[in-house]
Amino acid sequence: MTALLLGAAVAAGYLAGRARPARAISDWAAWQTRPRGLRYAAVWTIRSAEGLGWLAAHPVQGWRAWRTRDTPPTLAVVPVRADPWPPDRGPR
């Protein structure tokens, strides 16, 4: 009986992995451009679940991202001309 349940669990896991229903749902949510009403609620529920799932799987990276969320990116020093316009040479 235990071997039968274990085999059924393995088969169900394999089929779910092949079908990848979470991937299909995630792709659907990503393609919604202007959701309204219940579709809006569904899209943000799916996106929230994705975010919470990612945080559960990557707690350290999530904490580091939260700590540095307001830090601006470091910019390379780019030389800037003081006067962007050429000097006026008088009437032509």
> Which span out of 25-29, 81-85, 88-92 was modeled with the highest average pLDDT?
25-29
* pLDDT at position 32: 84
pTM of the model: 0.53
CA–CA gap between residue 71 and residue 37 (Å, rounded): 35
Domain tally, the chain: 1
Mean pLDDT confidence for 3-8: 91
Q: Which amino acid is at 6?
A: L
In a domain, 54, yes or no: yes
What's the per-residue H, E or C state across 31-84? CCCCCCCHHHHHHHHHHHHHHHHHHHHCHHHHHHHHHCCCCCCCCCCCCCCCCC
In a domain, 69, yes or no: no
Query: Which residues form the domain of 56?
Result: 21-60
Contact by Cβ (8 Å): 46, 26 = yes
Is pLDDT at 92 greater than 70 in this prediction?
Answer: no
If you count them, how many residues does the chain have? Answer: 92
In a domain, 53, yes or no: yes
pLDDT in tens, 30-81: 888 888 999 899 999 999 998 898 899 899 998 888 888 777 767 666 666 6
